[in-house]
Structure 1
Amino acid sequence: MEYGIWTLIPVLFVIAFALKTKRTLEPLIFGTLLTYVITSAARIPSEGVYALSHIATDWMDAFFRVATDYSHQWVFLVCALFGSLITLLGESHGTLGFTRALGKLCRGPRSTMMVTWIMGILIFVDDYLNIMTLSTCMKKLTDQRRVPREALSYIIDSTGAPVCAILPFSTWAIFFSGLFFTQPGIAELGYGTAIETFYHVIPFAFYAIAAVIIVPLFIVGVVPKLGRMRTAYRRLQETGKVYSPESAPLNEEDESEFQTQGSLMDFILPVGVLIILAIISGELFLAVVAAIAVCFVLYIPRGKMSFSRFCDLAMHGFCNMIPTVAIIFFAFVMQEAMTDIGIADYIITLVQPHVNAVIFPLVTFLVVAILNFSTGSVWGIPAIVAPILLPLAESIGTNLLLVMGAIVSGATLGSHACFYSDATVLTSSCCKIENMDHALSQIPYALCASGISALGYLVCGALL
């Protein structure tokens, strides 16, 4: 069944509700419910009032599909276990030891932010690993150097998906190389294997490249402080607070934490195992479990904490991530709802008759970006649209590498800028900042990167 313009109503509702309330979870809950109200109401002409019973059944069916999906369960568990690891590192005061060691290099706000950006590029294997590790490493240090949490979360989010999208040895590269190589005509381009073909796509991932480059320009002041970011810096100057009053409840434990001497080893060994094992095995879940095991071996025999205290802290950290997991859960439900209402097909149907070879890369970027921003389905949308857009691009004579780059860019923009994407929610949670504070403060910079990307696809579409 086609729902026409009604397809867009839930997305617009979620965005408006989130902007008005500065909340994330509630707009997603009501947005998913509204989706199934619309789909059920459309059945009234054929089923009568009985059609309204589908509201609850379809909504719960979406819940069930999300809860029983292995990839979703993996995300929930990794996030929760990272909460345990972060809490254990904090209790051991290993983060304090790392902060003091790195503090010798980070003399002021700019150098601290620049080190954060460089570390974000170095931890390129996976965007989740990047976000969780970097926030744990740098949060205390940036607080001490008077960097607003909004700036920290922006830098971390900008070195998550954007970096993973343009480096060939990452989860993003593995996904997109496999997705593209299975499409008709891509293997025939003659660039070799799937990953070798992706190497040639990377230069055309304009959004990812622009988003990464804008960060150091922001740090040194070439790109000015815009919108909510300017407000954050004004708040810091006037009150000395690195986060807003809305974020204060998220930082109560940090406020009361006493400063003791921390051992650098208590931080470096678990985090080192985490990063190295993630690179070697390619399995982040295994890496997090191993890092927690290292904490166990490292802390208990040395009397840093008792066995019961270790277990209590691990459970406490696990539970601390429940609000984040809840938001991610409903973001996945929103993805299911958008699939059920057919938003991707609707937008593609609207756009398809009006494209030519020159503007097709630009249109591809905009369509994928809008769909990703609307649904939060960072990899789901490319998987849906690639089999449609790539054959269409080939049929009208558009450069296929440019179109693949546009798909990657649109997905990266969705991950980076969507209010309720898992990366945005995870970044705000790990930086202990209200999600909408983070999302709105980085939007101007995401729009700058989007404008540069759009111009790039328009120019290259005409030249290539």
Structure 2
Amino acid sequence: MSDFGVLSLLPPLVAIGLAILTKRVLFALFFGVWVGGFLVAGGDPVGATTETLKWIVFNIASAWEEDGQIMTDLWNTRILLFDALIGAGVALIYKAGGMNAIAKAVTRKVKTSRAASLMAAIFGTIIFFDDYTNTIIVGNTMRPITDRARVSREFLAYADDSTAAPVAVLAVVSTWIGYELGLLKDAIASVGENISAYSAWFASWPYRFYPILAVILVYLVAATHRHYGPMLKAEYRARKEGKVLRDGAQPMMTTEVDVGMPIGGKESVWVFILPVLALVLMTFLGLWITGGGSAAYAEGGFQEVLSNADSTWALVWGSFSMVIVAMALVLAMKIMTLEDVEHTLVAGMKQMHFAMMILILAWSIKSACDAVGTADYIVRVASNVLSPGLVPFVIFVVAAFISFTTGTSWGTFAIMMPIAVPLSYQLSGSFGPIVYASIASVFAGGVFGDHCSPISDTTIMSSMFSGCDHIDHVNTQIPYALTAGVVGAVMLLLFAAGLRNGWVLLAIAVLLLVVLHRVLSEWYGRRAGIPHGKVPIYIVEES
């Protein structure tokens, strides 16, 4: 590999710059890959295009060239298959009314604004496996319930948004985890380590301060009815005047083009419960079998099983089981015809196309960065100016900035993960807390910036399906996102100061979040003339 020096920074910088300028992450990632090909081809544009297409094709096919031979590993292929299958399964459950059935079953006794607010948070947590599905289902299902309880549309959109990406990025089984594992696998391989991507994913979990705190804050706000910032005025207006939208608001319309509206009249909670159980149980069974089962467990416990497991096969088995169980139920219960099932499965797979395209280009820009030595150059320069403990904090800040300006957490993951792992590994000297905290900071920073961004897809979808004015949603959510983000950043500074235990830091973070929420609600409540920033609880009148 030639030493391109500072030019090796061009592929990720071009991707970041174009993403900021155009707001189109696919084009940005493609041209980032092309610039890498341009460098490798010695400035030949035709050669650059050839290299770019080769990297893309090889990443789709899970292949690479080594010593003139084409080598294969079906990891990437299985991840793409998993994404397609889980998209199909989620669409089938949604279309058959399984989500609506769950909603109706658990919301019949919602009698107060507090109960409705908490129910929105709970629903957002239950639908853990996909952020898009979360925004669609929680918004559409909870809107009539929260309207009846005089909960503002702004709060519903906030609860919807803050339990979408944050929950998906934390969930053991989700449409996100295949993408995360793909990035992690390549990043780990780039430093020559053999630990499994799943093992590293689990080890990074307690350091993901922002998404964890964002979810906790939703419950805290819902339970206490203490607010601050524009949300306080919105909630007070809804309780006192019954106006769930401000005068002059322009709520976004709620339409589902790809899958269509759920089928009514035959909803069953089992159409939701059994396929999701099949997904979770078969995934864990797959991890157990491919990880060595009881023999590996006897040697080193569940962590040893995960370290040896082939997570992609487990995810494929789980998602395929989800589809089969859902199909069997909707056909046996005569909710849908075989033709309807086929159309819904295809429509569900179509919903995953954008994510899959980002994933392929993410793998490809990783190939481009490897070819020009981007990570090696950054590690070489940063090792002279950055202390190891500060790496996670810096990564969090940079990832948040990229995600905010581009409106995409996934694109941010693609750009940052190939840099974060080699950098933290080289500076720390081993796979330990610094590397795990750096991995977590890529995910946490990406979600944080995405949450604050008005051009984020999930932010827009939360406004849409909650029937909220989009600017109102952004303005009311940002103070809460900043609260969780600042607390997370403080924890990373404590990490830099020497406190490396993730669970201890997380406990401190939760305590600080509770205190800060109370202080801010008291302070803003005094400014707004609403004691303690606490809005009254509305009791729904019986019709």
Q: Taking structure 2 as the reference length, what is the TM-score of the superposition?
A: 0.60
Q: 1:374 to 1:215 in 2, by over 3 A?
A: closer
Correspondence for 1:272: 277
Give the equivalent residue in structure 2 for 1:58. 51
Q: Tell me, yes or no, if structure 1 residue 293 matches structure 2 residue 344.
A: no
Equivalent-residue separation in structure 1 for 2:230 and 2:8 (angstroms): 36
Residue 14 of structure 1, CA deviation:
0.5
Q: Which residue is 2:214 aligned to?
A: 211
Write the mapping of 1:184-203 to structure 2, written as runs, cut at 5 A: none
What is the alpha-carbon distance in structure 2 between the residues aligned to residue 118 and residue 145 of structure 1?
Answer: 14
Q: Pick from 32, 51, 59 the counterpart of residue 35 of structure 1.
A: 32
Aligned residue number for residue 461 of structure 1: 496
Q: In structure 1, how many angstroms separate the alpha carbons of the residues matched to 2:133 and 2:342?
A: 21
Q: How does 1:109-120 map to 2 (within 5 A)?
A: 111-112=115-116, 114-115=118-119, 117-118=121-122
2:428 matched to which residue of 1? 393
User: Which string of whole-angstrom CA distances, capped at 9 and with x for unpartnered residues, describes residues 198-254 of structure 1?
Assistant: 77x765554454334333345456564679xx8xx9996148999635x75648933
Alignment correspondent of 1:410 = 441
Which of 289-298 and 327-336 deviates more? 327-336
- One-letter code of the match for 1:215? V
Judged with a 3 Å threshold, the aligned counterparts in structure 2 of structure 1 residues 379 and 118 are, in CA distance, closer, same or farther, namely farther
Paired position in structure 2 for 1:253: 260
Q: Partners in 1 of 2:9 and 2:446 — Cα distance? A: 25
**Cα pair distance change 1:64/1:172, threshold 3 Å:** closer
The code of the aligned residue for 2:271 comes to D
> 2:480, 2:40 → 1: CA distance?
43
Q: Residues 369 and 414 of structure 1 are in contact (CA less than 8 Å); yes or no, is this contact kept in structure 2?
A: yes
Separation in 1, partners of 2:191, 2:400: 20
The answer as to 2:452 corresponding to 1:449 is no
- Matched to 1:351, the amino acid is A
Supply the distance in 1 between the matched residues of 2:50 and 2:179 (Cα, whole angstroms): 35
- Counterparts in 2 of 1:355 and 1:266: CA distance versus 1, 3 Å: closer
Unmatched 5+ stretches in structure 1 = 19-26, 188-193
**Bigger CA drift: 343-352 or 366-375?**
366-375
More divergent stretch after superposition (438-447 vs 385-394): 438-447
2:79 is the alignment partner of 1:67: no
1:367 positional shift: 6.2
Deviation at 1:328, TM superposition (A): 4.3
Q: Which among 68, 81, 98 is matched to residue 77 of structure 1?
A: 81
Q: Do 1:83 and 1:318's aligned partners in 2 also have CA atoms closer than 8 Å?
A: yes
Amino acid in structure 1 at the alignment position of 2:31: L
Moved more, 269-278 or 326-335: 326-335
Distance 1:338 1:17, change over 3 A: farther
1:140-168 CA deviation, whole Å, 9 max, x = no partner?
32233355556413312112224659xxx
**Displacement, 1:100?**
0.8
Number of aligned pairs?
A: 424
Given the superposition, is the C-alpha separation of residues 43 and 310 from structure 1 closer, same or farther in structure 2, using an over 3 Å criterion? closer
Distance in 1, matches of 2:134 and 2:270, equals: 17
Q: Name the aligned partner's letter for residue 66 of structure 1.
A: N
Assess, with a 3 A threshold, how the Cα gap between structure 1 residues 152 and 294 changes in structure 2: closer, same or farther.
same
1:407 positional shift: 1.3
Aligned AA for 1:62?
A: W
- 1:150-187 per-position Cα deviation (integer Å, ceiling 9, x unaligned): 6413312112224659xxxx99899989x99x9999x9
Q: What is the aligned partner in structure 2 of residue 152 from structure 1?
A: 160
Quick one: which of 138, 158, 161 aligns to 2:169?
A: 161
In structure 2, distance between residues paired with 1:103 and 1:76: 36
3-state SS of the aligned residue for 1:253?
Answer: coil
2: CA distance, partners of 1:364 / 1:297: 46
The residue identity in structure 2 corresponding to 1:67 is I
Q: In 2, distance between residues paired with 1:272 and 1:208?
A: 24
More helix, by proportion: 1
The CA distance in 1 between the partners of 2:410 and 2:353, in whole Å, is: 21
Counterpart residue number, 1:14: 19
Please state how far the C-alpha of 1:61 moved relative to its aligned partner. 1.9
Classify 1:60/1:5 alpha carbon distance in 2 versus 1 (closer, same or farther; 3 Å). Answer: closer
The verdict on how the C-alpha distance between 1:285 and 1:440 changes in structure 2, with shifts beyond 3 A counting, is farther
**Amino acid in structure 2 at the alignment position of 1:457:** L
- Contact kept in structure 1, 2:136 and 2:461, CA below 8 Å: yes
Judge conservation of contact 2:139–2:462 (CA < 8 Å) in 1. yes
Residue segments in structure 2 that go unaligned for 5+ positions in a row: 63-73, 147-152, 288-313, 500-543
User: Conserved in 1, the CA contact under 8 Å of 2:400 and 2:447?
Assistant: no
1:140 matches 2:140: yes
Q: Distance in 2 between matches of 1:453 and 1:370?
A: 15
SS of residue matched to 1:160: helix
| Contact 2:40/2:371, CA 8 A, preserved across alignment | no
What is the correspondence of 1:240-389 to structure 2 with a 5 Å cutoff?
244=252, 248=255, 250=257, 253-254=260-261, 259-282=264-287, 283-340=314-371, 342-356=373-387, 359=390, 362-363=393-394, 365-366=396-397, 376=411, 378=413, 385-389=420-424
- C-alpha spacing 1:362/1:137, structure 2 compared with 1 (3 Å): closer
Q: Return 380-389 or 51-60, whichever deviates more.
A: 380-389
Deviations 1:283-325 (A, max 9, x none): 2322232232223332323433333333333333333443444
Greater shift, 146-155 or 360-369, is seen at 360-369
Counterparts in 2 of 1:28 and 1:13: CA distance versus 1, 3 Å:
same
The equivalent of 2:103 in structure 1 is 99
Are the aligned partners of 1:11 and 1:375 in contact in 2 as well (CA < 8 Å)?
no
Distance 2:402 2:373 in 1: 11
**Amino acid of the structure 1 residue aligned with 2:45:** L
Amino acid in structure 1 at the alignment position of 2:219? P
